[in-house]
Structure 1
Amino acid sequence: MKYTFCNLLLILFVYSGFSQTKIIDVDTKYPVSYATISFGDGQGLFADDDGLFIFTEKRYNDVDSLFISSLGYKDLALSTLNLPKIIEMQADINKLDEVLVIAKIDRKFKTKTIKPYLDDDYYKCWLPTIESEIAVFFPNENDQLKKITSVLFPITLESRDWKKRKRSNADKRKFSTLFKVKFYKNDNGIPGQAMIYTNIVFRVTEKNGDEFELDVSDHDLFIPEGGFFVSLQVLGYTDQNGKLLPNKKYKEIKGRNGMVKIPTNFRPLLPFTNKIDAHNTYIKRVFISGNTWVQFKKGNSIESSLLKTNLNNYGVGINYNAYKDE
């Protein structure tokens, strides 16, 4: 109880010390949840489920512009000078009109699984930061109609005691982390148009074990002819109720040329594998406007210790319904 009370005081202190800005839909006045707020220099943050975020000139004295984006909305650029308390975003009707509505399919199907690749080796893991989005490609092997029902995300837990890390019953470090998931059509080998414009988020804790199954059966996600990408992006730590906290997005370390900003890593770790022949994993820096996807492999100017040991892929799995022909 004492620990919880102290955390509550900290949260109240943080929120009371900074002014909040809210992002809403210009027509419905509903909050735009989990919008991306970029600073144009590779840094940024996210709004929470209520569309709220914290920005002050004192905290970000070198930032003069904000770039705000969210699935299904037109991008917005604002000056930080006299930033309004309420920011209105306009729905992008052209994008929303592209969404294909498929009637409920009532015929026999067979449930199939592409298993995830699990690993509890800390040294084979990607360290999640909020500046990076990871996408994994799933090809469509034939013209059979297929509906994605769930996504299986492998995670690696850390032991409290490093000396006991190889014991399966060792106590794990506690965390409560919020992730955002997106689905993209294949656009000539890279993630393209969004398959749906609904925010899909989930919270994971150490209690979920080494795999998190995300149920997406209600979203009518049918695998496109050219395959699809599913992406994962960490939003930050949450409180015990799943509310996104004002996380510190980077650490400042003194270097030869002054202070250097190093992105903060968030638990859980994401295990990579060398057991997939193709290079199915792509990465993107989310806070850089117009940034493109890069295939995660050697020779693509990516600095990662994972590539040195040929750990090229994040081994996500899926469950799907393969429908029989009428």
Structure 2
Amino acid sequence: MKQLLTLFFLLLSLYAPAQTIKLQGKVLAIGSSEHLSYVNIGIRNKNIGTATDEHGSFILVLPAERSQDTLTFSAIGYQELSVPVRQLAQAQPLEIKLREKENALQEVVVTSRKMKIKKLGNTGRLPGVWGMPENKEGKDVYEFANFIRVKGKPTELLSAHFYLASGKLDSVLFRINLYKNNNGFPGERLADKNIMQRLTTKDGWISIDLQPFGVYADEDFFLGIEYLPAAGADKFAIALGAKLGGSSYSRQSSLGTWEKFVGASLSGYVTVRQ
């Protein structure tokens, strides 16, 4: 009887479904086979994701119950690709290829009136109040966003600013994202511009020049500040300045759900010409 029970449990373990699905591979550009760095990878609106490293490589471990979901690969300047998780699990190691988008010139509105330099967004900061991106899944991103009102005026974006309150690393990589307003939340990208900068982690205001990217807006939009953690980074490696009052938005994974938090707002704004 004991031998029969042992055999039963052995067979049960052999046929039990895996508890996790590990996906590993690289993301490349179609045609050039160029490795694509910092591609957002995730199950949309499920808060499960990762990003490729500087060599285009990635590892993503999913719960087994996500085998019926679809994984999306999203890179600025490239067409999104969505593939069923079950299909990906059967093709390891993965070589994902993305097709480059056709360049679409952004419409520029020319005005004869004299334009002024302005700061739009949250220019304040209160010591002791901060936003702290949590690197909860090793290589996943964390993103904050502020709503920017342009009030229908033709607007040229000159620079983006945020306050780096503290950091445990010598340098960190950030990406500035600009999103259209979608019913009060960040929606589609305002412009397909890959605006990334590695910064030393000294306390103070950070300024990122937007003029080389030629970005214009005439409708309200969102300024997104995306933290791209290095592999093995501390769970709470950095902190961003904030102040009491107002509201900001955040999401905790690639292609995750945006959440609005009220009562405090990220110190972040854009300098524009209007």
The C-alpha deviation readout for 1:12-38, integer Å capped at 9, x for no partner, is xxxxxxx97321121332232211222
Matched with 1:125 is 130
CA distance in structure 1 between the aligned counterparts of 2:99 and 2:143, rounded to whole angstroms: 24
- The yes-or-no answer on 1:36 pairing with 2:40 is yes
Please say which of residues 190-199 and 46-55 is displaced more in the overlay.
Answer: 46-55
Matched with 2:9 is none
Does the aligned pair in 2 maintain the 1:66–1:80 contact within 8 Å? no
Does the aligned pair in 1 maintain the 2:50–2:253 contact within 8 Å? no
TM-score after normalising by structure 1:
0.62
Matched with 2:73 is 68
Counterparts in 2 of 1:26 and 1:103: CA distance versus 1, 3 Å: farther
**SS in structure 2 of the partner of residue 218 of structure 1:** helix
Structure 2: which amino acid aligns with 1:283? S
Counterparts in 2 of 1:60 and 1:283: CA distance versus 1, 3 Å: closer
Query: How many residue pairs get matched?
Result: 238
TM-score after normalising by structure 2:
0.72
Counterparts in 2 of 1:175 and 1:39: CA distance versus 1, 3 Å: farther
What 5-or-longer segments of structure 1 have no aligned partner? Answer: 1-18, 159-172, 238-245, 250-263, 298-309
Matched with 1:216 is 210
What 5-or-longer segments of structure 2 have no aligned partner? Answer: 1-22, 135-139
- The yes-or-no answer on 1:141 pairing with 2:141 is no
CA distance in structure 2 between the aligned counterparts of 1:142 and 1:38, rounded to whole angstroms: 34
Matched with 2:249 is 282
Q: CA deviation at 1:101?
A: 4.2
CA distance in structure 2 between the aligned counterparts of 1:111 and 1:117, rounded to whole angstroms: 18
Counterparts in 2 of 1:142 and 1:196: CA distance versus 1, 3 Å: closer
CA distance in structure 1 between the aligned counterparts of 2:51 and 2:232, rounded to whole angstroms: 10
Does the aligned pair in 2 maintain the 1:282–1:295 contact within 8 Å? yes
Does the aligned pair in 1 maintain the 2:25–2:95 contact within 8 Å? yes
Does the aligned pair in 1 maintain the 2:51–2:254 contact within 8 Å? no
Structure 1: which amino acid aligns with 2:151? E
Query: Normalized per residue, which structure has more strand?
Result: 2
Q: CA deviation at 1:187?
A: 2.4
Q: Whose radius of gyration is greater, 1 or 2?
A: 2
Counterparts in 2 of 1:266 and 1:44: CA distance versus 1, 3 Å: farther
How many percent identity over aligned positions? 20
**SS in structure 2 of the partner of residue 157 of structure 1:** strand
CA distance in structure 1 between the aligned counterparts of 2:114 and 2:272, rounded to whole angstroms: 13
- The yes-or-no answer on 1:234 pairing with 2:241 is no
> CA-atom RMSD, angstroms?
3.3
1:187-226 map, 5 Å: 187-207=182-202, 209-224=203-218, 226=219
